[in-house]
Structure 1
Amino acid sequence: MKKRRTQEERTAETRAALLNATVSAIHELGYAAVTTAIISERAGVSRGAFLHHFHTRAELMAAVVRMVFDDEMMRYEEIVQAPEMDRLFEWPRILWSVLSRPAGIAVLEILQAARSDPDLAQMVGPTQKAAEEGALAKMREAYGGDEETARSVKRLMVWAVRGLTLSDMIVPDRQATLGAVNLLANLLKAAAPDGSVAPLKPFTM
């Protein structure tokens, strides 16, 4: 006899369906073209069910950013278990493997949209800030360095790779894009061959 799902399980499944539908819709159609009706249809839920879980579009997008960040952190944890991945200069390639996925691209579009949408910025901003602080803490734990340097290095790597995912969508050239990712990795290796943050102290302008 098939076990009946609890209300809690049904709620979690519906919420996950809405979040995943949002990611796929943004990746395929672009942020501006995605409506709550499209998301509801893709998730297989009614408009009322959508509003039960997310009262506003901005609330939904903030939840997407959080979901994707949590998934990314799990992926990073799995990747770094490999002995050859415990060096900082491997991270541009690691970041590309994660941030170039549909979920990473969807989050990038959400963050861009927040620039001209105050309600979205208010919802997404704190979520993204918390995500970046969590990533910074993990990075310092693994690769050392003072906070200022680690923050600059993290921002360089993450946003360079995010920018490359954007350029690869607008002007596709995968060979050149991967070449740029590898170049960043090689520059970091030349600057910090021991794989730590400490040698990468930024210059003061």
Structure 2
Amino acid sequence: MQDLAAPQPRRTQEERTATTRMALIDATIAVIGKWGYAGASTTLIAQTAGVSRGAMLHHFPTRAVLMADVVRYVFDHEMAEYEDIRVRTGLGDHLYDWPRMLWSVLGRTSGMAVLEILQATRSDPELAALVVPMQEAVERSALAVMRGAFGGDEAQALAVMRLMVWSVRGLSIAERYLPHRAETEDAIELLGRLLQQAAPGGQIAELGPLLAR
């Protein structure tokens, strides 16, 4: 007699909710990556996620709420990615390691999606009200981590962090229009080398003369 497969346990409501929300977040990132923020309609996102538009609105009542949750998810995921890179590669102990590390994370489709959402806050007050405080909180948290690792006063660390993060984010836009990805990666490497020359010990305090007003 053929053995019958054991019945699969039914998922809880919490598990089903988490699965649906994750499908919508993944779909939003994919749709923005393909069509841009303007083309990422809620209808197209729901279709890509394989859920009804009604189900999507149950979890995310407005497009802005969905986009804000995408930003929150990506920010949290990126922090875990940086730690994973440190463990796998040994990078991260010096300031000049970070342009490469940032590029490996922010240059992904998810990083580009967040950048487009951040840009959209300029013309969407509801989105701005949700996302701008989140971006500010993430920056404060990252600043505390950077100062703990590389020293420097708050103004110095903030200037260095913004130089690296927004240089990499800007290059992630340029990479779409440059014919060869290697050209963008050359610019990332150059930024790291400039930081290494200016701060060979990998500490922010070494940049003091350059940061003095």
**For each residue in 1:144-173, what CA deviation from the matched residue of structure 2 results, as whole angstroms up to 9, or x when unmatched?**
211111111110000000000001113443
Shift in CA distance, 163/172, structure 1 to aligned 2, threshold 3 Å: farther
Shift of 1:132: 1.3
Aligned counterpart, 2:176: 169
Residue of 55, 60, 85 corresponding to 1:79 = 85
Aligned counterpart, 2:4: none
Residue of 101, 120, 127 corresponding to 2:127 = 120
Confirm whether residue 109 of structure 1 aligns to residue 116 of structure 2.
yes
Residue of 12, 21, 29 corresponding to 1:6 = 12
Q: What are the ranges of 5 or more consecutive residues in structure 1 without an aligned counterpart?
A: none
Tell whether the 8 Å contact from 2:175 to 2:181 is kept in structure 1 after alignment. yes
Aligned pairs for 1:33-182 (under 5 A) are 33-81=39-87, 82-182=89-189
Shift in CA distance, 88/125, structure 1 to aligned 2, threshold 3 Å: same
Larger Rg: 2
Between the two proteins, what is the percent identity of the paired residues?
56
Q: Which moved more, 1:97-106 or 1:173-182?
A: 173-182
Tell whether the 8 Å contact from 2:71 to 2:114 is kept in structure 1 after alignment. yes
Confirm whether residue 26 of structure 1 aligns to residue 35 of structure 2.
no
Between the aligned partners of 1:172 and 1:3, the Cα distance in structure 2 is 50
Q: What are the ranges of 5 or more consecutive residues in structure 2 without an aligned counterpart?
A: 1-6
Tell whether the 8 Å contact from 1:136 to 1:154 is kept in structure 2 after alignment. yes
Tell whether the 8 Å contact from 1:23 to 1:102 is kept in structure 2 after alignment. yes
Tell whether the 8 Å contact from 1:21 to 1:39 is kept in structure 2 after alignment. yes
The CA RMSD over aligned residues, in Å, is 1.2
Residue of 190, 194, 213 corresponding to 1:183 = 190
**TM-score of the aligned structures, taking structure 1 as reference length:** 0.95
**TM-score of the aligned structures, taking structure 2 as reference length:** 0.92
Structure 1 letter corresponding to 2:114:
V
